[in-house]
Amino acid sequence: MIARLVLRHEIIQNLTKPLLITVVTVTLVLNILTFKMAQNEGTSLLDGFGAVPAQFVFLLPVIMILLMGKAGTRCRFWEAGLPLEVRKLWWAHFLALASASLFLILVSGVTFAGFGALNAAFIGKAFFNLADVFRLMVRPVAVSLTAAALVAVWRPGVGHLAEEPGWFRYRTLVIVVSVGLLGLLVVLPQVFLLVPLVLIGLVTVRSNKALPLAMSMSGSESPGEAAMSPSSAAEKWEAVGPSRRVVVLVLLRTLLKWPVTWLALVPLAVLFGLMMSGRDILGMDEPYLRFMNFFMTVYILFALTGHFVKNLYKVDHLPVDRRTLLRWLVVPITGFFLLGYSAGRIMDTLDPVTNEKIVFDNGGESYGLKVSPEYFAFAGSDETPVMTAPWGEAHEAPVEPVFRGLPGVLWKPYATPEGSSLEFVAWQISRATAAVYGLEIDPDEISARYLKADPDGRVNVRESGLTLAADFPDARHRNLGPVFPILVGGELFLLMVILALYFKVFKPGITIRKIQVVFWIIMGGLMACHIGGYIFFMLGWTREWVVYGFWLGRIRELGELGPAGYVGAWAGMLLLVSVAWRWAEKSFLAAEAPTS
């Protein structure tokens, strides 16, 4: 009987939102952790810095369940009306809370293990295997059971905890205690895991002793009792006139139903905005992230808009323009994303990255002049381009296919292959300096300041290195072109197209359940695109720097056209996004609110 009650408990029936947030966040953190591990040449998550944050990631489901998982409902009216002992209802709530937390921890664990398996299969680095994941989960599991027990002990004879005064404070306390307990368990020896287990036992015994004969459903039991007398109602009544904006905010909140979900995901939108700006975040000086997280950004933005449209029926009878509703659904979250992007750009302006964009590598296989991939050129055919100096010295340029099996290569116009003369290298550095820093430096000056010929005739840089940015204060990274309209415009365009298609699902006879299925299919598709990119990299079908160089190089070339390039990019982006917006709007106007 208790098992049936657990399965039908509101906590179990409302796992969708916590699951959504858990999956998104765990995937994001895993992206970052594996990236850092790869950067730092790490071998195992458990040996490195990642073990502590990874364990806190496992705690996230517990927090999600407490915040939005109906943890405050011990039992509903109909359950309280069943001929069941209070003890069974109490256990059902406790077990539902514990098993929901454990389920989400397990989902996180599966995601971890999946990432680990992918890493092992494709890049040969098993940063975490099943045993690692299991070890990471032990402490969060203990904490989640403690949290469930702490909730269970609070007013054990009350059905609607969420309607009790003090619930909000107590729930916050449980979250703080859980985080603190995990912090302690992480630094203490494993034997201390017994402490929460003993605590759970004590709490269970104490609560069972304190159970009343019947579950109290007070709080919403007799709401009409305190109705005021007509005279006092008249005295209290004052017509207030909120602005129309406030009204729309109320409608928006009605659509969001439980705004905590939305608010919990807002920081992710800001974070992805920061990432898209190209700003070095979380210590990851990795510009490729801009392009690698294209689909993940759309995933986040769609999650924060599409998920809530199913509640349209709640406001559909009111005289509010659907266009207004759509604006309020999309614009705020897009605003948060753009806020992150703007913050990244402002940080870049105030604290510009001054690293050298032109370096000379003396190493064996990677010998030669190196510039950022955005300065690589694109050739539509597979023919190897030739770099020819004015005096006739010519070398074949190194090439890399944009995508294996398809025509088109990215080639390095400033390369200095083995056998290049000192003049050729100086000429190439001079050209690269003009392209990257906008500085015209005579090849002879470059040759005299930076280059030397080794006894074996190989050209090399002097011991002081190639320090162009440091030596020439006027050397500034040139503008990369209209990145914002193309990158962000592309994301907004894709978001609006997806929304337009999604709204088409809101047709006669559609139920909320079917809409949720479609929502998750779209989310899965976007996630597949995101993960697919990584798989292509791992399989070697393309490379991060090629994708980055291909796109940013073309954007940079557009910027080199001058104002026409920028105007064209902005106009094109505005046109595309506005056309997609109109399409989404049209779909939304035709959408019918789903039935439950």
Partner 1 sequence: MKVFEFDKVSRGYGAGDVLSRISFGVDRGEVIGLLGRNGAGKTTLIHLVMGMLAPREGEVKVFGLDPRREAVEVKRRIGYVAEDQELPDFLKVREVIAMNRQLFEGWDDSMARDLINRFELPPDRKIKDLSRGQARQVALLCAVSHRPELLILDEPAGGLDPAARRQFLETSIRLLNETGTTILFSSHHMGDVERMASRLIMIHDHQKWIDSDLDAIREGFSLALVPADAGVDGERLLSLPSCLCARRHGDLFHAVYELDPDTCCKSLRKELAVETIQCRSLGLEEMFIELAGRES
Binding site for partner 1 (CB under 8 A): 220, 223-224, 226-230, 233-234, 236-244, 246-247, 250, 253-254, 314, 316-322, 508-509, 590, 592-593, 595
Which is closer to partner 1, CB of 283 or CB of 508?
Answer: 508
Tell me which H or E stretch contains 119: helix 86-122
Is residue 386 helix, strand or coil?
strand
Strand 386-388 relative to strand 394-396, pairing: antiparallel
Q: Which is nearer to partner 1, 222 or 381 (CB)?
A: 222
**Residue 182 falls in which region: left (phi positive, over 0), alpha (psi -120 to 50) or beta:** alpha
**Residue placing its CB nearer to partner 1 in the complex, 528 or 589:** 589
Q: In this structure, what DSSP letter does residue 216 have?
A: B
The residues pairing with 160 across neighbouring beta strands, listed in sequence order, are 73
Closest CA to 144 of 187, 204, 186, 196: 196
Q: Which is nearer to partner 1, 82 or 247 (CB)?
A: 247
Residue type, 444: D
**Sequence-ordered list of residues with C-beta below 8 angstroms from that of 241, at least 6 positions apart, any chain:** none
Q: Least separation, in Å, of the C-beta of 172 and partner 1?
A: 19
Query: Of 253 and 404, which CB lies nearer to partner 1 in the complex structure?
Result: 253
Q: Which two tokens stand for residue 186?
A: 């992480």
Closer CB to partner 1, 203 or 217, in the complex:
217
What is the spatial distance between Cα 184 and Cα 192, in angstroms, rounded to a whole number? 9
Nearer of residues 235 and 471 to partner 1, judged by Cβ = 235
Closer to partner 1 at the Cβ: 300 or 312?
Answer: 312
Between residues 72 and 373, which has the closer beta carbon with respect to partner 1? Answer: 72
Whichever of 424 and 588 has its CB closer to partner 1, that residue is 588
Q: Of the two residues 324 and 362, which places its CB atom closer to partner 1 in the complex?
A: 324
- Minimum distance between the CB of residue 318 and partner 1, rounded to whole angstroms? 6
For residue 75, what are the contacts with CB-CB under 8 A and spacing of at least 6? 89, 92, 93, 159, 215
Q: 236 — phi, psi (to 5°)?
A: -75, -25
Residue 381 C-beta: closest distance to partner 1, Å: 53
d(CA 7, CA 174): 24
Rounded to whole angstroms, the Cα distance separating 448 from 445 reads 5
For 356, left (φ over 0), alpha (ψ -120 to 50), or beta?
beta
Q: Which residues contact 358 (CB under 8 A, 6 or more apart)?
A: 369, 370, 371, 414, 429, 432, 433, 436, 437, 466, 468
Supply the minimum distance, in Å, between the C-beta of residue 63 and partner 1: 22
Report the residue number, 205 or 250, with the smaller CB distance to partner 1: 250
In angstroms, rounded to a whole number, what is the distance separating the alpha carbons of residues 273 and 217? Answer: 46
Find the shortest distance in angstroms from Cβ 97 to partner 1: 22
Q: What minimum distance in Å lies between the beta carbon of 591 and partner 1?
A: 10
For the bound state, the minimum distance from the C-beta of residue 503 to partner 1, rounded and expressed in Å, comes to: 14
Nearer to partner 1, 229 or 349 (CB): 229
- Grouping H, G, I as helix, E, B as strand and the rest as coil, residue 411 is strand
Q: What is the DSSP string of 292-319?
A: HTHHHHHHHHHHHHHTTGGGGGGTTTSS
Give the DSSP H/E element, type plus range, for residue 399. strand 399-401
Min separation Cβ 508 and partner 1, Å: 5
Q: What is the smallest separation between the CB atom of 594 and partner 1, expressed in angstroms? A: 11
For the bound state, the minimum distance from the C-beta of residue 21 to partner 1, rounded and expressed in Å, comes to 21
Reduce the DSSP state of residue 504 to 3 states and report it.
coil
* Nearest residue to 296 via CA among 272, 316, 328, 278: 272
- In angstroms, the Cα distances linking 53 to 84, 126, 141, 183 are 43, 18, 15, 10
Q: Rounded to the nearest whole angstrom, what is the least distance from the CB of residue 507 to partner 1 in the complex? A: 9
Supply the minimum distance, in Å, between the C-beta of residue 328 and partner 1: 14
Question: What's the min distance (Å) between Cβ of 589 and partner 1?
Answer: 8
